[in-house]
Amino acid sequence: MKVLITGGAGFIGSHVADGYLAKGLEVVIVDDLSRGARDNVPAGARFQRVDLRKRAALEKIFAQEKPDVINHHAAQIDVRKAVREPLFDAECNILSSIHLLELAVQHKVKRFIYASTGGAIYGEPETLPADEQTPVLPITPYGISKHTVEHYLFLYQKLYGLPYVVLRYGNVYGPRQSPKGEAGVVAIFCQQMLQKVTPTIYGDGKKTRDYIEVHDVVRANIKALTHGAGGIFNIASGMATTDYEVFRTVRDALGVRGIEPNYAPKRPGEVDHIVLDVSRARSGLAWRPQVGFRQGIRKTVDWFKARLR
């Protein structure tokens, strides 16, 4: 089986590529390296540097590679950038996805696995945890663009019979996460504290997120190859963790003493509280989270320590 992974040089996509290769799959990675890194591409994968907005380049790759499965991780993921530049967000996340869907139908792809968001898609739910039936009311263009593609997937399945699986991720963290930009608070805190910079928490430290370690996400992507066709699944821990708990857990794992975070105003587009119900993934994907938060933070801290020596 040949899988084409978009965004496969990025944090999550490169781990998924590792997981697929370990299962004996043939992997082709497409990435424009705007956020990903060439060093993240596994040695066993073929790499094509392509901007997904460029239809002609994508057509050549599909004609050459003839993939069986598309695993779509490439995206504009910065919530604050989406607020500032909604047109750019839509170009990257909606228009590029339509290119892929059309080519998937044209080349008779057997399954389309889509990395969506559970952290931004539900907005501020009235009740928590949010399950897949919770009303989708995003408060950022990023959440809107990611959800829009879910509708296109449903449409392309109805019109053309394209099988798909949607994975709505919580806040993914782990080794290889980039501390650059505004996304990835675990990575940002790790690097800052290792460099003796005091981290800043935006808000009062009580905002909650549902954190999921990247290797748990990889296992969900492996399950999605054979399970859950036509389904939408939350992929998360099912546990709420405050911003301050993230800071404290990273601080303790690093063995840093005597510091407390700085505080700044909450930023536009950020939800106050989100935690996800993962019951459907347990039944429909035969998947459940296995990596505890402290264990995952320790693995992440160890990676950053080795990298910054």
Query: pLDDT by residue (tens digit) across 28-56?
Result: 999 999 888 999 999 999 999 999 999 99
Q: What is the pLDDT of residue 183?
A: 66
What average pLDDT does this structure show over 237-244?
97
Task: List, for residues 172-219, the tens digit of each pLDDT value.
Answer: 999 999 888 656 899 999 999 999 999 999 999 999 999 999 999 999
Could you tell me if 305 and 253 are in contact, meaning their C-beta atoms sit under 8 angstroms apart?
no
> Scanning the structure block, which residue is given the tokens 């892929």?
100
Q: What single-letter DSSP state applies at residue 3?
A: E
Which of 95, 121, 110, 221 is CA-nearest to residue 167?
A: 221
The SS3 call for residue 192 is helix
CA 201/CA 207 separation, integer angstroms: 10
Q: Which two tokens stand for residue 57?
A: 């380049």
- Please give the order of strands across the beta sheet that includes 69-72: 46-49, 26-31, 2-6, 69-72, 111-117, 164-169, 231-235
pLDDT at 309 over 70: no
122, 142, 164, 211: the catalytic one is 142
Which of 3, 24, 155 is CA-nearest to residue 69?
A: 3
Whether 173 sits among the annotated catalytic residues: the reply is no
Could you tell me if 23 and 222 are in contact, meaning their C-beta atoms sit under 8 angstroms apart?
yes
Give the count of beta carbons closer than 10 Å to the beta carbon of residue 280. 18
Q: What is the pLDDT of residue 80?
A: 81
CA 22/CA 244 separation, integer angstroms: 36
What average pLDDT does this structure show over 255-264?
93
Regarding pTM above 0.85, the answer is yes
The lowest-confidence range among 16-25, 71-80, 129-138, 242-251 is 71-80
pLDDT at 302 over 80: yes
Q: Which two tokens stand for residue 192?
A: 């800052």
- For the domain spanning 2-172+211-237+278-284, the CATH number is 3.40.50.720
**What residue spans define the domains of the chain?**
2-172+211-237+278-284, 174-208+240-276+291-307
Judged by phi (left if over 0) then psi (alpha if -120 to 50, else beta), residue 151 lies in alpha
- With 0-12 CB in 10 A as exposed, 13-18 as middle and 19+ as buried, what is 151? exposed
Which of 88, 11, 105 is CA-nearest to residue 51?
A: 88
Report residue 130's pLDDT band, with 50, 70 and 90 as the boundaries. Answer: very high
Q: What is the pLDDT of residue 181?
A: 65
> Scanning the structure block, which residue is given the tokens 């705007």?
34
- For the domain spanning 174-208+240-276+291-307, the CATH number is 3.90.25.10
Q: Tell me what percent of the residues of the chain surpass a pLDDT of 90.
A: 89
CA 153/CA 23 separation, integer angstroms: 26
- For residue 66, give every residue at least 6 positions away whose Cβ sits within 8 Å of its Cβ, in sequence order, or none: 2, 107
Q: What is the pLDDT of residue 33?
A: 94
What average pLDDT does this structure show over 251-269?
91
Q: Which two tokens stand for residue 34?
A: 């705007």
Q: What single-letter DSSP state applies at residue 201?
A: E
Judged by phi (left if over 0) then psi (alpha if -120 to 50, else beta), residue 3 lies in beta
Verify cis geometry, omega within 30 degrees of 0, for the bond prior to 129.
yes
